[in-house]
A = this chain, B = another copy of it.
Amino acid sequence: MGEVKVIATPQSFPCARIEWALRIKGVEYEYLKEDLANKSPLLLQSNPAHKKVPVLLHHDNPIAESLVILEYIDETWKENPLLPLDPYERAQARFWAKFIDDKCVFGVWGATVAQGEEKEKAIDAALESLAFIEKEIEGKKYFGGEKIGYLDIVVGWMSHWLNVLEELGEIELLTAERFPSLHAWSHNFIQTPPIKDCIPPRETVVEYFSFGINYVRSLEASTKS
């Protein structure tokens, strides 16, 4: 099926989504590690609109945006389907994937960086978005049913990255008490091959997010002053 390369950075969860999907499919790929502080000409030329990782290169044709790449992988390598086969179930998986990226990621990030009187409101918004995902996983082993699928890959950051954000933001969101099913899923997901073979060391994620949190907070401080 031709040469596959991934332009990525190990601490980024959208990048991990692509590696997980390719490994589930059994597709070999070359990992092109990107230095985000000094972006490569290949990245800038492959994703001129966003200049962001991940980018998948298949026969040197670039594809960007992690959810778009997941669909491409699923359509190109048919074994071990990621999306459900039924159109209505596919639509539900896509709906929740967009919800994850629009609401949960930004909700958790907002709760992490918020300070002062805004903190509690931001935590409530994050919890409200997570409650929808709890309902989706209730009574199931994986979002994909008996096997890891598209939506598991999209929610996957909650099994590793979310906990780092909780620590850095001094908040508690995904607890066993609040969200028993999602909490159990998050521990199960990260133990499952091939996911567990492809998780960045915690300290690199801490370093990456610490930089981002300090940056956002300093921006906000300068706007307010």
Main secondary structure of the interface of A (DSSP, over half): helix
Chain B: CB-nearest residue to A69: B91
* Residue A34, interface by CB 8 Å: no
Cβ–Cβ < 8 Å partners of A50 in chain B: 99
B63 contacts A98, C-beta separation under 8 Å: no
Q: A49-B103, A61-B88, A88-B58 are in contact. Are A94 and B76 (CB under 8 A)?
A: no
Question: Within A63-108, which residues are at the interface with B (CB < 8 Å)?
Answer: 63-65, 67-69, 71-72, 75-76, 87-88, 90-92, 94-95, 98-99, 103
A75 closest partner in B (C-beta): B87
Q: Count how many chain A residues have C-beta atoms less than 8 Å from C-beta atoms of the other chain.
A: 26
**Which of A50, A98, A103 is packed against the most chain B CB atoms within 10 Å?**
A98
Q: What residues of chain B lie closer than 8 Å to A64, measured between beta carbons? A: 95
Contact with B along A36-67 (1 / 0, CB 8 A): 00000000000011100000001001011101
B-chain residues with CB within 8 Å of residue A61 when the two chains form the complex: 88
Q: Assuming A68-B94, A71-B94, A94-B68, is B99 touching A49 (CB within 8 A)?
A: yes
Q: Chain B residues near A63 (CB, 8 Å)? A: 88, 91-92, 95
Q: Are A72 and B88 also in contact (CB < 8 A) when A103-B49, A132-B49 are?
A: yes
Query: What are 5 A-B pairs with beta-carbon distances under 8 A?
Result: A48-B132, A58-B88, A63-B95, A64-B95, A68-B95
> 15 additional contacts, CB 8 Å, given A48-B132, A50-B99, A68-B94?
A49-B99, A49-B103, A61-B88, A63-B88, A63-B91, A63-B92, A65-B94, A65-B98, A68-B91, A68-B98, A69-B91, A71-B94, A72-B87, A75-B87, A75-B90
Give A contacts to B, CB under 8 Å. Answer: 48-50, 58, 61, 63-65, 67-69, 71-72, 75-76, 87-88, 90-92, 94-95, 98-99, 103, 132
